Structure 1
C-alpha cells in the first residue's frame, strides 16, 4: 500500500494492518492507541484507534469532521484526514519540531484568523466528543446560556455521579451556572478548536504550530485562548496572545473570564478521569468568586 492506493481505497487500511503489510511505530496519543505507519512509498501517516474493542460510536467521525472543518478555514495548519472509519482514523503525518517564538507569533495570528471565519451558531450540526466523553453540540443563540447548558452542566453531573467532586465544589459551580450572564462576553460564534490545551498544539519541524485532536464547534474564541494556559501553558504563551490580540483585539475583561472558560475543561477531566482533577475545578470556581463580577 502506497499513498496513491490509500487515497483511492481508504477502507482497505485495516486489512493491510491486520496482515502486517505496513510498518507500525507506536506513538503517544492521549486516550487512544496511535501509531506512525510507514507505507511502501516511504510516506508516513498517523493512525489512531480505540485501545480495547470498538471505539465509542461516532467518535472518529466527529473528530474527522472537526479536523476537516478547521482545515477548510485555511488558517492554522491542520492535518488532512485520509481515512475515517468507525474504529480507525488516519491523517497526514506531521513531523515534530521545537516550539519557537516565530512559530508562536504566526500561530497567534492564524488562530485569530481561524476564529474570525465564524460559525453558524454556538454548537454544531453534528454530535461531538471531547476526550472519551460525548459532547452535546445542540445549537444555541446565546453564548452564556448555551455554555452553561452544554459545556458546564453535563460534566458537572457526570463528575457528581462518579464522586469526583465534594459538595462545596458542586455548590460553587452551580452558583457560577446560575449567575453566568453577569460575566458578559457576548460575541458572535467563532470557529474554535474546542479542546485547545497545550497537548493539542503540535509544534512541527516545518516551523509552524498545527492543531490536532479537536472538539471543534461554534464557540467563544476566549475558550481556546483560556485553555492554552492550562497544564503549564503552551510554549511562548505570551507571544501567542500578543500576536492574537494584534490581529483581533479581545473585549474588556477577558483576563477575568479565563477561569470561566477553563472550568469546562476541568469538569471534563473530573468527569472522565476522577477526583485527581478536583483542584482545577475548585481553583477556577474560587478565582471567579473573587473577581469583580462576583
Structure 2
C-alpha cells in the first residue's frame, strides 16, 4: 500500500519540503509503516484508519511526550501528527537501528528504572489510549489493585467472554483473584509505565543509545513493565541487573510476573484468539 497523495501533500505543505522517495517497512500489525526520504532528511511515518482507530496517534504522541518529559530515556521526536480524510498518520524522527550488547542493555535497564521514578498522585493517566489495537481505559484510582482490576482485567475478561474465549467458570476464578489481589503485593507509588514493554518496542541506535517506541502509557506498578519483558524475549541479564542496581524491585517480584502478565495475555486472547487462552488460564490458576 502506497502513501496517499493527500498525506504526501499535507506533509510537504506543513514541512515546506519535498518527499523524494517512500520505502515500505515491515513489522506493523496495525499500521502501514514507511521511510520517507525528503529534502530535509529521512523520517519514519506510520499510517492507519482514523475510523477504525480514532485518536490512536494523538494518544501515542501524548505518551511519547510524557516519557520525554521525564528526561530519563530517549524517544523518537514527533515531527507531525495529522489526519486527512479517513487516514491518520504519525511522522517521527528516523532512528538508524544498530545492534544491542551488554552495555546498551545496561543503559536500557538503568534508564527505564529512572523513568519509573517519575510518579503521580494516582494510578492511571490523563486520557485513555490503546494497547495494540484495543482501547485502554486509564481512569484514575488511588490503588494499583483497583486500577489493575477495573481498568485492565475486567474489560479484557468481558471482551474475552463475549468472544467465547473465556467461560462463566473463568469469570468466577477472576472474581476470586480480585478478592485476593490486594494481599498479593505491596503497594508502591505510581510509576510512569511504558505499558507495552516487550522486545519489539525499544530500539538501540548505531551509537548504542536506547529509544522507547510505541508506548501505551499510564501510571502504575512498575513490576508491570518488568513482567512484560519476560513474555516474548529480547532482554538479557544485564538489563535486569542494571535496573535493580538503579531502583531495586521489591522482594518476590519474580513470583508476581505471571500475575501482571494476565493483562497482556488477555489482550492477546482478544486480538489473536485461543492460542493464548491456555497460557492466560495457567497464569490465573497460580494465584487463586
Q: Give the alignment's TM-score, normalised by structure 2.
A: 0.88
> Conserved in 1, the CA contact under 8 Å of 2:19 and 2:36?
no
Aligned to 1:100: 101
Aligned to 2:115: 114
- Structure 1 residue 26 corresponds to structure 2 residue 24: yes
Query: 1:60 pairs with 33, 42, 57, which one?
Result: 57
Task: Give a deviation string over 1:75-94, Cα, whole Å, max 9, x none.
Answer: 12111111122411111111
- Inter-partner Cα distance in structure 2 for 1:108 and 1:89: 27
> Conserved in 2, the CA contact under 8 Å of 1:227 and 1:262?
yes
Aligned to 1:136: 137
Task: Give a deviation string over 1:21-60, Cα, whole Å, max 9, x none.
Answer: 441111122321111111123x21111111x564411111
Aligned to 1:191: 192
Change (3 A) 1:37 1:54: farther
> Conserved in 1, the CA contact under 8 Å of 2:198 and 2:229?
yes
* Aligned-pair Cα RMSD in Å: 2.2
Task: Give a deviation string over 1:5-32, Cα, whole Å, max 9, x none.
Answer: xxxxx9921879xxx9441111122321
Q: Gapped runs of 5+ residues in structure 1?
A: 1-9, 290-294
> Conserved in 1, the CA contact under 8 Å of 2:19 and 2:37?
no
> Conserved in 1, the CA contact under 8 Å of 2:12 and 2:19?
no
Task: Give a deviation string over 1:158-187, Cα, whole Å, max 9, x none.
Answer: 111112235554443332223211212300
> Conserved in 2, the CA contact under 8 Å of 1:34 and 1:46?
yes
Aligned to 2:44: 46
Change (3 A) 1:285 1:45: same
- Structure 1 residue 69 corresponds to structure 2 residue 66: yes
> Conserved in 2, the CA contact under 8 Å of 1:130 and 1:215?
yes
> Conserved in 1, the CA contact under 8 Å of 2:58 and 2:81?
yes
1:288 is paired with a residue whose SS is: coil
Q: Give the alignment's TM-score, normalised by structure 1.
A: 0.87
Of stretches 172-181 and 89-98 in structure 1, the one that deviates more from structure 2 is 172-181
> Conserved in 2, the CA contact under 8 Å of 1:120 and 1:218?
no
Aligned to 1:239: 238
Q: Gapped runs of 5+ residues in structure 2?
A: 1-7
- Inter-partner Cα distance in structure 1 for 2:120 and 2:259: 21
Task: Give a deviation string over 1:106-158, Cα, whole Å, max 9, x none.
Answer: 11110010010213321111111111111111111111111111011001111
Report the number of matched residues: 274
Change (3 A) 1:116 1:11: farther
> Conserved in 2, the CA contact under 8 Å of 1:198 and 1:228?
yes
- Inter-partner Cα distance in structure 1 for 2:9 and 2:252: 49
Aligned to 1:153: 154
